[in-house]
Amino acid sequence: MDNVLIQMEGIEKSFPGVKALSDGQLELRAGEVHALLGENGAGKSTLMKILSGIYSKDAGRILYKGKEVNIPNPRTAQDLGICIVHQELNLMPHLTIAQNIFIGREPRKGFGLVLDETAINKQTQELFEMMHLKLNPRTKVSELSIAKQQMVEIAKALSFNSQVLIMDEPTAALTDTEIMDLFRIIRQLREKGVGIVHISHRLEELRQIADRATIMRDSRYIATVRIEDVTINQIISMMVGRAFDETAPEVPENVEQDIVLEVKHLKQGRVLKDVNFNLRRGEILGFAGLVGAGRTETARAVFGADHYDSGEVCIKGKSVHIKSPNDAVRQGIGYLSEDRKRYGAVLGMDVETNIVLSTFKKFLGYLGWVNKGKTGVTAKHYIQALSIKTPNMSQKVKNLSGGNQQKVIIGKWMTANTDILIFDEPTRGIDVGAKSEIYKLLNTLAHEGKSIIMISSELPEILRMSHRVIVMCEGRITGNLPIKEATQEKIMQCATQREAIL
């Protein structure tokens, strides 16, 4: 056991409203690539952020080379040789590549006053040569593609001569050749005895690169296995295990109804390239794809939150031009944002106001006075109908749990009585119990004849809820699968059907 680098035991972490981690465990050895697997929200990222000093743990202990350590901030982690490449990019776009890589530890000359720009450019160049990367260290990061930025992040982590390298979905935005380069570098590092934690949703990559895997589910440790000993299917069943101990997936019958929404040739800059799909009455249409595939962008364009360059949106056969969310609401489209805190709910206001927010006009009396009686009745109705757990209507939304916040937003769109509802990651950050309530709600809405687009990164959720699955990859629709034909493998296949990047 003397080659064990990191030992994490019984790690717990709570955020307001959500328990992100109830039992995190990990054992990382020197010279291994250790895959950390689980659905979105299983707690992988949280566990790794604790290891790299970004979050502090509520309970549990971390051993580094057998000694218990405390990692209160990123600096301490770096000093220990623990480095993380973040899922969301953490670069400074206005600085050059080399400046980004050496931020916080710039070599200096001239009595420590002047930055040694030549040195960092040279060292960066050496780093890139080792990685076989053709990049100029003097280029500003804002001029790089997302994939290149990702490589810079990795180079930065490598530059620390880390003992432990954590990569949070490093391949999500990379092309196949870039992935091959990355794996080559990972293998080099493994040879040198570095321990690598590799978080990924691409199970097919595991055989190529990983030695062992730790599987997490519902913020808990499930198992650690040697990759050689298991099949992909076994891993999947460990990841989605929850499906077995719940009721069978509620797949409603596929109603062949009128088309209520049709999107043709929607294009928007480099993000959306020719998006075509339709949505039927009473249908739940699942939108699957990797992060950055353009699902949210499609939804926002249809909802009028962003402008699109060209294309046509038809509602009930009529071509409409939606320029703003206000137009969309008038056309009967509602959008529940993936980022509830920022876009969906006015957190500082009470439940009642939030429910009637987008339909205030209905409740206006003389001279624009809000009819408090009517809004109260409406709010009360939805609090009951959606079983929103709140002490009273005047509770501020920020004090509710994630699931109940989501229900408040659903209530808001139900008062607006919109026919088309777009749910963007409706169960993100919501605990298991609240999830199944939201699922029930979606089914009820579909039964009532509403049409629903459900964007989700959780494949089990897509498979369980949808009548039909649309898969996107890099701004295009790469799959349109009736639920009977949809499997995780098939969806993943479509989701990775990338165009060759020049």
Partner 1 sequence: MAVAAVQRRLVIRADALQRVLAFGALIVLIFIFSLASPNFLQFNNIVGILLATAVNGVLAIGVTFVIITGGIDLSVGTVMTFSAVIAGEVITVGQMPVPLGILAGLLAGGFAGFVNGILIAKLKIPPFIATLGMLNVARGLALVISGVKPIYFNDTPEFNSIAMGNVIPAIEIPNAVLILFAAAIIASLVLNRTILGRYTFALGSNEEAARLSGVNVDRWKIAVYTLTGLFSGLAGILIASRLNSAQPALGQGYELDAIAAAVIGGTSLNGGEGSILGTIIGAFIISTLTNGLRILSVPQEWQIVVTGAIVILAVYLDVVRRRKK
Residues that bind partner 1 in the complex, under the rule CB under 8 A: 54, 73-75, 78, 86, 90-95, 99, 103-106, 108, 113-115, 117, 140, 142-143, 502
Our CB check for partner 1 shows the closer of 341 and 484 to be: 341
Our CB check for partner 1 shows the closer of 143 and 256 to be: 143
CA angle 21, 25, 26 (to 5 degrees): 130
Our CB check for partner 1 shows the closer of 370 and 501 to be: 501
Cα distance between residue 378 and residue 492, in whole Å:
42
Q: Which is it for strands 468-473 and 476-482: parallel, antiparallel or unpaired?
A: antiparallel
Our CB check for partner 1 shows the closer of 75 and 265 to be: 75
Tokens of 193: 């005895």
Our CB check for partner 1 shows the closer of 143 and 448 to be: 143
Least gap, CB of 112 to partner 1 (angstroms) = 9
Least gap, CB of 76 to partner 1 (angstroms) = 9
How would you write 106-143 as a 3-class SS string?
CCEECCCCEECHHHHHHHHHHHHHHHCCCCCCCCEHHH
Least gap, CB of 175 to partner 1 (angstroms) = 15
Q: For residue 407, give the nearest of 336, 463, 330 by alpha carbon.
A: 336
Q: Is 454 exposed, middle or buried (0-12, 13-18, 19+ CB in 10 A)?
A: buried
Our CB check for partner 1 shows the closer of 95 and 236 to be: 95
Least gap, CB of 145 to partner 1 (angstroms) = 9
Cα distance between residue 283 and residue 418, in whole Å:
14
Cα distance between residue 486 and residue 204, in whole Å:
18
Least gap, CB of 75 to partner 1 (angstroms) = 4
> What strands lie across the sheet with 476-482, from one edge to the other?
333-336, 420-424, 451-455, 284-289, 468-473, 476-482
Least gap, CB of 78 to partner 1 (angstroms) = 5
Our CB check for partner 1 shows the closer of 163 and 375 to be: 163
Least gap, CB of 71 to partner 1 (angstroms) = 12
**Amino acid found at 420:** I
